[in-house]
């Protein structure tokens, strides 16, 4: 174990020298997730550009280290025991956005959805307003096929650019991609570099009004003042997970500082020092009760990552 730690330190030093981006050892995952939960990630890397990213992936592959892309961590529950994988964070290098006229907007994977929404509003481009209030990145939004207000990312994206080890960079048109409810199927090792969106020209004041209305509705229906990872479960076909959980009488139920929200039962909130184990306990309780009392199998929308608790 000690040797493994030493090897990783050496690897981190080597990576620091070879890339122009930043390397963070023993990153505290609480700081990188909207849940404010999670142990330590031994190595988090922030590639500055595509060359850096290709090098980071190649070095991890050569070293036999598993890696994973991290967006804003707004759909993740990270183990209290931390993460073994090297986490590759695109938020410091992949921040480019450009509007190319005729309603086309290109954004890199690390761009915050909130930033993209604002830019589109200012440019008078409509179609992404539903992303207002979704606290993720373009990459995470695409991977999750983020959606709200009856829309989803797959409806406005026209092309996605990828990097995949070892073949490099390529792009695919929307039609060639397999989007589903809250997911985009990626091949193993496939990284989203950015995407192109096709939007409609519209009056910025109307766009702004829609955004404000969506944000107002979120404030009223979601516990956004507390750390969370958004909806915990996917809605089963034709039903709402929140309503099911409410009918099970679980609103407000707690395990330590983790609580099933009183406002929106499909949110679990962190009231201070919640542990991943406590959130998982609530998830299990909901699942088990939904199956036993209603015959419904609830599937999680949030992704649980990291070392097994034990």
Ligand X SMILES: Cc1cc2nc3c(=O)[nH]c(=O)nc-3n(C[C@H](O)[C@H](O)[C@H](O)COP(=O)(O)OP(=O)(O)OC[C@H]3O[C@@H](n4cnc5c(N)ncnc54)[C@H](O)[C@@H]3O)c2cc1C
Q: How far is the CB of 32 from ligand X (least distance, A)?
A: 8
* Parallel, antiparallel or unpaired: strands 183-184 and 97-99: unpaired
For the CA atoms of the chain, what is the radius of gyration? 20
Going residue by residue from 9 to 48, which x/- string records binding to ligand X, judged by CB under 6 A? -------------------------x--------------
Torsion of CA 285, 240, 234, 281, to 10 degrees: -10
Q: How far is the CB of 288 from ligand X (least distance, A)?
A: 24
Instruction: State which of positions 203-222 bind ligand X (CB under 6 A).
Output: 222
Show the CA angle centred on residue 74, arms to residues 69 and 78, nearest 5°: 70
Going residue by residue from 240 to 279, which x/- string records binding to ligand X, judged by CB under 6 A? ----------------------------------------
User: Binding of ligand X at residue 120 (CB under 6 A)?
Assistant: no
| 3-class secondary structure, 20 | coil
The residue among 278 and 289 lying less far from ligand X, judged by its C-beta, is 278
The residue among 80 and 301 lying less far from ligand X, judged by its C-beta, is 301
The residue among 177 and 229 lying less far from ligand X, judged by its C-beta, is 229
**Nearest by Cα to 246 from 289, 203, 210, 281:** 289
Q: How far is the CB of 99 from ligand X (least distance, A)?
A: 21
Q: How far is the CB of 273 from ligand X (least distance, A)?
A: 18
Instruction: State which of positions 122-151 bind ligand X (CB under 6 A).
Output: 134-137, 139-141, 143-144, 146-148
DSSP 191-242: EEEEEEEE-EE--HHHHHHHHHHHHHHHHHHS-TTS---SBSBPPPTTS-HH
Give the separation between CA 153 and CA 107, rounded to whole angstroms.
Answer: 13
**Nearest by Cα to 126 from 211, 195, 219:** 211
Binding site for ligand X (CB under 6 A): 34, 68-76, 90, 109, 134-137, 139-141, 143-144, 146-148, 191-192, 222, 224, 228-230, 303
């Amino acid at each position: 174990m000690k040797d493994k730690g030493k090897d990783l330190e050496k690897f981190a030093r080597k990576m620091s020298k070879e890339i122009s981006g930043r390397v963070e050892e023993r990153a505290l995952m609480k700081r990188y997730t909207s849940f404010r939960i999670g142990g330590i990630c031994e190595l988090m890397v922030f590639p500055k550009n595509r060359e850096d990213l290709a090098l980071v992936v190649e070095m991890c592959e050569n070293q036999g280290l598993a890696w994973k892309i991290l967006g804003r961590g707004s759909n993740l529950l990270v183990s209290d025991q931390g993460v073994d994988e090297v986490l590759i964070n695109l938020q410091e290098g992949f921040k480019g956005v450009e509007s190319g006229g005729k309603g086309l907007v290109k954004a890199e994977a690390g761009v915050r959805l909130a930033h993209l929404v604002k830019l589109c509003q200012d440019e008078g481009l409509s179609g992404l307003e539903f992303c207002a209030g979704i606290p993720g990145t373009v990459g995470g939004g695409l991977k999750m096929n983020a959606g709200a207000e009856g829309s989803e990312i797959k409806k406005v994206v026209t092309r996605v650019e990828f990097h995949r080890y070892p073949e490099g960079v390529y792009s695919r048109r929307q039609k060639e991609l397999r989007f589903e409810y809250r997911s985009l199927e990626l091949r193993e090792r496939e990284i989203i570099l950015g995407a192109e969106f096709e939007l409609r020209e519209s009056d910025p004041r109307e766009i702004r009004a829609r955004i404000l209305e969506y944000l107002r509705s979120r404030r009223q229906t979601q516990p956004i003042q507390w750390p969370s990872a958004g909806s915990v479960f996917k809605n089963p076909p034709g039903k709402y997970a929140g309503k099911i959980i409410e009918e099970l009488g679980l609103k407000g139920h707690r395990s330590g500082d983790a609580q099933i929200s009183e406002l929106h039962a499909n949110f679990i909130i962190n009231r201070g020092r919640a542990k991943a184990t406590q959130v998982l306990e609530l998830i299990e309780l909901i699942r088990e009760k939904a199956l036993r009392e209603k015959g419904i199998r609830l599937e999680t929308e949030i992704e649980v990552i990291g070392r097994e608790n034990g």
